[in-house]
Homo-oligomer: A and B are copies of this chain.
Amino acid sequence: MSETPAAPARMTRQRAAVAEVLGDTDEFRSAQQLHELLRSRGDSVGLATVYRTLQALADGGEVDVLRAEDGESLYRRCARREHHHHLVCRSCGRTVEIDGPTVEAWATQVGATHGFDDIEHTIELWGTCATCRERV
């Protein structure tokens, strides 16, 4: 019944660097983007380690993960740890965190109505943010 099931175990330069770059960005970013960001900062971290660290953070609920339309996973440290959804800019990753009490209720009820158990829902909104719309 723990919120954070797997403790991160041992702190390393690499894990600190990944945590820091996540703290510095507000947009959803792919593992490869984060890897490149780290390299360009001088805090070079192996790609495998970036993936491992992101996965651990995701398991612990520290970062949210979503799938871009091309299937790539995108990661972001959100402001709140509570369940929420996202409105994400397709071209720059800019993100707005969304609350949907209505949708939550709707999703749960629809599942129950049809006799399904262990209902989960995927709700993500994609669009083009105002800034990206400018630079046609």
Give A contacts to B, CB under 8 Å: 67, 71, 87, 89-90, 96, 98, 100, 102-103, 106-107, 110-111, 114-130, 133
Question: CB within 8 A of A115: which of B103, B114, B116, B130?
Answer: B130
On whether the beta carbons of B115 and A126 are closer than 8 Å, the reply is no
- Complex Cα distance A16/B133, Å? 43
On whether the beta carbons of B118 and A127 are closer than 8 Å, the reply is yes
On whether the beta carbons of B111 and A127 are closer than 8 Å, the reply is yes
Q: For residue A122, which residues in chain B have a CB less than 8 angstroms away from its CB?
A: 122-126
Question: CB within 8 A of A120: which of B100, B102, B119, B127?
Answer: B127
Closest 8 pairs (CB-CB, A-B):
A116-B127, A115-B130, A119-B127, A117-B128, A122-B124, A120-B126, A96-B114, A118-B128
